[in-house]
Amino acid sequence: MIQVTRKDSKESFENLLRRFNRKVQQSGVLAIAKQAQHFEKPISKVERRKKAIVRRERKAIKANKLKLGIR
């Protein structure tokens, strides 16, 4: 649990919120929560690599089409 308290009574709410957001980002809590939002079945290394290769190929094709002005 992340807790942030005011440094003094004159500290503005904006500064307090900014410090809180920075602590949340640095702790990685938000990233973990976003990952857990959608469950993904565990897949083997081979499958993961195959999917990565397909993604790279599709990205290259899309980049080539963009260079040629084709949609």
Tens-digit pLDDT profile for residues 11-63: 899 999 999 999 999 999 998 888 888 887 889 989 999 999 999 999 999 99
**pLDDT computed for residue 60 by the predictor:** 97
**What is this structure's pTM?**
0.49
Are 2 and 24 spatial neighbours (Cβ–Cβ below 8 Å)?
Answer: yes
pLDDT at 3 (0 to 100)? 85
Q: Could you state, in order of their start, the residue ranges of all structural domains in the chain?
A: 1-39, 41-71
**Phi, then psi, of 8 in degrees rounded to 5:** -150, 175
